[in-house]
Amino acid sequence: MKRSGILNAQLSEVLATLGHTDLLLVVDAGFPVPRDVHRIDLALAENLPDLRTVLGLIADELVVEGVVRAEDVPSHNPRLDSWLHESFAGAEFTTRPHTEVLGDLARDAKAVVRTGAFEPWGNIGLYCGVDAPRWFGGEGVVVPEQYASKV
């Protein structure tokens, strides 16, 4: 039996397949997941599991280089936005129109993880990164400018 971390087999498998720049979307209970997108449905009941718990567990296992959310999040759900900035410190934050999050962004995701969250604008995209010190920390390795501050 696995000792710790994410126990859900589907989610654990998807996380293991993600590479640099891949997008994982973690969404609320009401998100319209496109039919042709890999869907991991964790929703059991209202706020079970909640968005922050799922994102926190994923953050423990994934190198996140970028976070994208609807442009409404900073003004319409500032507590979520603050939590995201604390939880993914060092990541680049961007926004997109809500309709793009529901459409194009969802179709671009390698997978969509549906939570039981009843969280307004609770649809968050995570772009995978690399562990810069481990990748570029070797002697004689040229560190790309975008990672220089992280090595």
Asked whether 102 and 123 are in contact (CB, 8 A), the reply is yes
98 is catalytic: no
Strands 39-41 and 64-70: unpaired
- Out of 20, 38, 76, 98, pick the active-site residue: 20
Q: How many C-beta neighbours within 10 Å does residue 129 have?
A: 21
Where b means 16+ CB within 10 Å and e means fewer, 107-116 reads: eebebbbbbb
Residues β-bridged to residue 26: 113, 124
Contacts of 99 (CB under 8 A, 6+ apart): none
Nearest to 37 by CA among 127, 113, 111, 114: 111
Q: Which residues are catalytic?
A: 20
